[in-house]
Amino acid sequence: VQSLFGAATAHPSLELHDLATLSLDQLSNIVVTTVSRHEQSLGSAAASIYVITANDIRRSGATTLPEALRLAPNLVVARADVNQYAISAGGFNNTLANRMLVMIDGRIVYSPLYSGVFWEVQDLMLQDVERIEVISGPGSALWSPNAVNGVINVITRRADDTQGTLADIGIGNRSRQAAARYGGRFGEDGYYRVYGKTQHFNQGKQADGTAVDDASERSQGGFRLDWGDADNGTTVQGDLYTNTIDQPVGGARDLAGGNLIARRNRLYDDGASWRLETYYDHVERSQPGLIWENLDTLNLDFQYGLAPLAAHRVLWGASYSHSRDWLVNLAPAVLAFVPASRNLDNYHILLQDEWQLRPRLALTLGVKGEHNDYTGMEWLPTARLAWNFTPDHLLWAALSRAVRAPSRIDREVYVPGTPPYLLAGGSSFQSEVAEVYQLGYRAQPTPRLSYSASVYYYSNDRLRSLVPGGPFINQFEGDVKGLEAWGSYQATPHWRLDAGWLELRENLHPAPGSPPDVEEAILSNDPRRQITLRSMMDISGGYELDIMARYVGELPNPQVPAYSAVDARLGWLASRHLRLSLLLQNLFDPSHPEWGAEGTREEFPRSIFLEAEWRS
Amino acid sequence: MMRHLRRCLTGLAHDPRTFCLIAVTLVMLASAGRSWSQETIDSDLERRIKAVFLYRFPEFITWSNPAADGTPFVIETVGSCAIGDELRQIAHGHTLQGRPVEVEQAKDGSAVPDAAIVFICDGSRERLKQLIRNAPPKALVVTESPGALLQGSVINFVLSDFRVRFEISLAAAKRRGLSLSSRLLDVAMAVTAGP
* Contacts with B28 from chain A: Cβ below 8 Å: 312, 353, 355, 365
Determine, for residues A28 and B165 on separate chains, whether the beta-carbon distance falls below 8 Å.
Answer: yes
Asked if B27 and A312 count as a contact pair (C-beta separation under 8 A), the reply is: no
Ranges under pLDDT 50 in chain B: 1-2, 5, 8-9, 12-13, 21, 24-39
B140 vs B138: CA distance, rounded Å: 7
Determine, for residues B163 and A40 on separate chains, whether the beta-carbon distance falls below 8 Å.
Answer: no
Distance (Å) from the alpha carbon of B124 to chain A's nearest alpha carbon: 24
Mean pLDDT, chain A, whole residue set: 89
Using CB atoms, which residue from A32, A36, A369 is nearest to B45? A32
Per residue in A582-610, pLDDT tens?
999 999 989 999 999 999 999 999 999 99
**Which contiguous run of DSSP H or E holds residue B101?**
strand B99-105
Per residue in A189-241, pLDDT tens?
899 999 999 999 999 999 999 999 999 999 999 999 999 887 789 999 999 99
Which of A17, A18, A30 to substitute to test the interface with B, most B CBs within 10 Å?
A30
* Contacts with A231 from chain B: Cβ below 8 Å: 39
B100 vs B92: CA distance, rounded Å: 9
Sequence-distant (≥ 6) Cβ neighbours of residue A487 within 8 angstroms: A449, A450, A451, A452, A498, A499
Determine, for residues B11 and A379 on separate chains, whether the beta-carbon distance falls below 8 Å.
Answer: yes
The values of phi and psi at residue A59, to 5°, are -80, -10
Determine, for residues A24 and B29 on separate chains, whether the beta-carbon distance falls below 8 Å.
Answer: no
**What pLDDT does B33 receive?**
30
Residue of B nearest to A36 (CA): B39
Calculate helix-pair angle for B84-91, B43-56, nearest 10 degrees: 50
Residue of B nearest to A231 (CA): B39
Instruction: Tell me which of A52-56, A254-258, B173-177 is least confident.
Output: A52-56
* Contacts with A493 from chain B: Cβ below 8 Å: 85, 88-89, 92
Determine, for residues A312 and B28 on separate chains, whether the beta-carbon distance falls below 8 Å.
Answer: yes
Per residue in A115-171, pLDDT tens?
999 999 999 999 999 889 898 999 766 676 788 999 999 999 999 888 889 999 999
* Contacts with A34 from chain B: Cβ below 8 Å: 39-42
Per residue in A398-422, pLDDT tens?
999 999 999 999 999 999 999 999 9
**Helix/strand/coil for A223:** strand
Sequence-distant (≥ 6) Cβ neighbours of residue A516 within 8 angstroms: none
A372 vs A83: CA distance, rounded Å: 31
Residue of A nearest to B44 (CA): A10
Q: pTM above the 0.80 mark?
A: no
A427 vs A422: CA distance, rounded Å: 15
A473 vs B144: CA distance, rounded Å: 67
Q: What is the mean pLDDT of residues A518-532?
A: 91
Which ipTM did the prediction report? Answer: 0.72
Distance (Å) from the alpha carbon of A326 to chain B's nearest alpha carbon: 26
Q: What is the mean pLDDT of residues A336-351?
A: 94
Determine, for residues A377 and B4 on separate chains, whether the beta-carbon distance falls below 8 Å.
Answer: yes
| Of A29 and A61, more confident | A61
Asked if A4 and A45 count as a contact pair (C-beta separation under 8 A), the reply is: yes
Using CB atoms, which residue from B33, B48, B184 is nearest to A356? B33
**What pLDDT does A8 receive?**
30
Residue type, A482: G
* Contacts with A371 from chain B: Cβ below 8 Å: 4
A566 vs A300: CA distance, rounded Å: 43
Using CB atoms, which residue from A36, A271, A543 is nearest to B36? A271
Q: What is the mean pLDDT of residues A244-261?
A: 94
Which of A15, A28, A306, A314 to substitute to test the interface with B, most B CBs within 10 Å?
A28
| Of B25 and A4, more confident | B25
Q: State the count of interchain CB pairs (< 8 A) between A and B.
A: 159
**What pLDDT does A365 receive?**
92
* Contacts with B27 from chain A: Cβ below 8 Å: none
H runs (alpha helix) in A124-171: none
